[in-house]
Chain A
Amino acid sequence: MGSGLRACAGALLLAFAAVWPAAATEIQRVRSPGGIEAWLVEDKSVPVIGFRFSFRGGGALDPRGRSGLANMVSALLDEGAADLDSQAFQRALEDIAASIGFDAGRERFHGTLRTLSEHRARAFGLLRKALAAPRFDAEPVERIRRQIAAGIESGKDNPRRIAGRAWSGLVFGDHPYARPLAGTQRDVAAIAVEDMRRFVRERFVRDGLTVGVAGDISASELARRLDEVFGELPLSGVAAHLPEPPPVRGGMEIVRKPIPQSVVVFGQAGVKRDDPDYYAAYVMNHLLGGGRNSRLNEELREKRGLVYSVHTYFRLFHRAGTIVGQLATANARVGTALDLVRGEWKRMARDGVDADELAAAKRYINGSFPLRLDSTRSIAGMLVAIQLNRLGIDYIDRRPALIDAVTGEDIRRVARRLLSPDRLVIVVVGDPEGLESTR
């Protein structure tokens, strides 16, 4: 497609330079009197504040026999705190049309607050209560437990969920990275209020806390609010340690289900976020299966109509990097689709990419990145992600150069190192024709 793109798009391509939301480049580092740091993009154009934060430790640290603990805590923090029971807390949020949400990741525990700036005092007050004094009353605890159980039950025949679980199991074995975040029925039934209280004590601490804020709030006020929200939390908790995951072995597992379309998850070991070749791998993945006009999309969707969607992406962990792809196709065509995936895997490792497709990919990656930063919510989220990955406060300014520096040779090198069809771990859920499990 390379030379064609140049020829065809010649008339349409104007001189191109990445553009940036002016505001997003003006990141302030705010430090509270109590020593809590946050990054802020102040923007008064809409009277809204987006506030995102993250504590160290997530569901991968759930104790043995208590899988689903972090997830259950995340569902209960806004179900009553301090002097407010569940309904009173929810009403208080509703009265000011603010929202508070928590989500338990595998290695971090995230929270979000969104409020109109006129109600910020009450909103931050509610967030403080949720973190420092969650009640875990019996009624909400048992209700949320029932809801989680129903969720686990209703999802157990969901082909995507089955495929994702099985793939993680093949790749990570008994390592906590393979554990389902929602937990198992037995473990969720066993989680006690004391388990959740201990979780709050040990995890909601200032050490490792990361905060990103965007919108209608000044730096001096934010400094004050940080102490108000987080100042009561202990300085540090219990050090947590995850073991190295086991090496990944290639192979295919078929999970037979009577459905018309097979769901396929495929992938293998990839790079970690701090790998020196991360940016080369990122651009390589964009061309292979990450972008909407990727080679896999071209071969499977555009040319042959085998899939509605095929894409690959990085699933990154502190101690592991993976490149994972998904597709879904009629049972009779799974073999064909997988042959094409292996073929593109091989072609990228053998031939790399040509100069024109590399240039187009860089223009997309650099041009589209700032387009996502249009809301306080998305900017606050980005500020947290940049801090967690230790990319530096000038990352948004430096990123285009990091992408532009990737050469065809870098991509060939990283593709050779990473992509090997023999090492692909493949899970098919469905009734694929002519395929058998190999492990």
Chain B
Amino acid sequence: MRPVPRRRLTAPRASLARALGVVSLSFAAVAGAPVQAGVFNPETFTLDNGLQVVVVENARAPIVVHTVWYRAGAADEPPGKSGIAHFLEHLMFKGTPTVPSGWFSKIVAANGGSDNAFTSQDYTAYVQRVASDRLELVMRMEADRMANLRLTDEKVAPERGVVQEERRQRTGNSPAAQLYERRRAVTYLRHPYRIPVIGWKREIDGLTAEDALAFYRRHYAPNNAILIVAGDATAARVRRLAEKHYGPIPRRPVPGRVRPVEPDQLAARRITMKHPRVHVPSVSITWRTPSYAAGETRHAYPLLLLSDILGGGSTSRLHRRLVIEEKAAAGAGAGYLGIALDMGEFSVSASALAGGDIVRIEALLKEEIERVVEHGVSEAELTRTRRAMLAGAIYARDGLRAAPRVIGRALTTGQTIADVEAWPERIRAVTAAELQDAARAVFVERRSITAVLLPGPPG
């Protein structure tokens, strides 16, 4: 009954902020689970104008989820215009000649459906959930705003206020979120992943209708988009409707996704923030890593399994050591964010008990990292974590949410459908030796970024 705020900004990479609390990565792996071969069984084809279409048929209920993903996110923004990808996502609801400002969601709702949108560093996505006999309606409107968005400064002004309040709500009021933002900024010297998806405040203030339209014209083309439909619709029906509504939109040249190269990290980095509204200290240590699509990608699956062994739930190493045995932390976790076009991040984190000793907690985190580098993991640990992840691939079929999300995120970050479908095989194939190799390659002291949040006056 409590509606999710519309046009939610999700930065999947931001889940690290949550890792400062108690994190269960095995759950994250389930939620983000790509999928067992023969599980999603998607059908895919490409229209003449370059629009890739993916259909995951599931006739369990007469419902469809219709999603369009653009290969454009915050990391594709021009310099000085931070936040424009996300701002445009909001402005995509501000009208075309046939669907006036504000009516998109109203029409979806009046047809018994719900809609949303979200922006990350590497993609922007639009989602509608409707009865399957409403598929054509939402397709017609989504195709319309792919080509015919109209913006004026008058329409844009109140929405800028909305985004400023969104920023205050997410970051301004939360010391942990402020530290997270700063931590990202020091993780990357050069690469745009250093910039928050929502944008820096001063730059949001200056964003105009023309800035949004420029980003729109540059990136929102059928050949830069993916249509994913899951639910009660056959591939033949989706193809017919997609050709009718998306087919006429002409292909346009789109820029390559070439971003500045991040230089190697030569010195460990550390930031400490004190805040009077913080009452329980916390710490995280982060390393940049290969992603599923970039760098030494052979390390990606081992890193995913390692994150679960270190930080997935009550039997994980970090929980057992820091929370149970040493009684030092209230929670401890680990996360691997490998779904990224240019590079990933691995991070471990823990929050203290009231009045707890954060120095000791940091030392314990480092000891556990050292232990993996030196001694690897046991076969028993590997077997358990593998089993949990493979089950996650089955749970992902229970409901319509997972399929579009998993496939959309993969296809906008350099992976293919074959990669998504091969997920279980690749999880099964990871060996303990590969896991230790990945740990050795990633957990290098000089490449670490440590962020500490402490109570007290800012100084």
Contacts and interface: CB of A to CB of B under 8 A. Distances in A.
Interface residues of A, number: 82
B106 A375 contact: no
Interface residues of B, number: 79
Interface string B378-412: 00000010011011101101111100000000000
A26 interface: no
A48 B58 CA distance: 15
A199 B194 CA distance: 50
A302 interface: yes
Nearest to B172: A260
Nearest to A149: B354
A159 B137 CA distance: 41
B112 A157 contact: no
B283 to A, nearest CB: 14
Interface string B53-97: 000001011110000000000000000000000000000000000
Nearest to B384: A94
B106, B134, B137, B166: which has the most chain A beta carbons within 10 Å?
B106
A104 interface: no
Interface stretch (A8-16, A58-66, A190-198, A407-415): A8-16
B158 to A, nearest CB: 3
B168 A150 contact: no
B2 interface: yes
A13, A149, A153, A376: which has the most chain B beta carbons within 10 Å?
A153
A48 B396 CA distance: 10
Contact of A377 (B109, B131, B166, B398): B398
Interface string B268-279: 000000000111
Interface stretch (B322-330, B364-372, B419-427, B436-444): B322-330
A301 B58 CA distance: 36
B295 interface: no
Contacts of B105: 292-293
A383 to B, nearest CB: 15
B173 interface: yes
A305 B113 contact: no
A114 to B, nearest CB: 7
Contacts of A23: 60-61
Contacts of A314: 1
A178 B107 CA distance: 40
A114 B330 CA distance: 26
Contacts of B110: 5, 9, 13, 360, 363-364
B330 A12 contact: no
Given A5-B106, A313-B2, 10 more contacts: A20-B62, A94-B384, A153-B279, A157-B277, A302-B102, A308-B166, A366-B112, A367-B112, A370-B63, A371-B130
5 closest residue pairs by CB, A with B: A367-B112, A305-B161, A97-B391, A21-B61, A375-B399
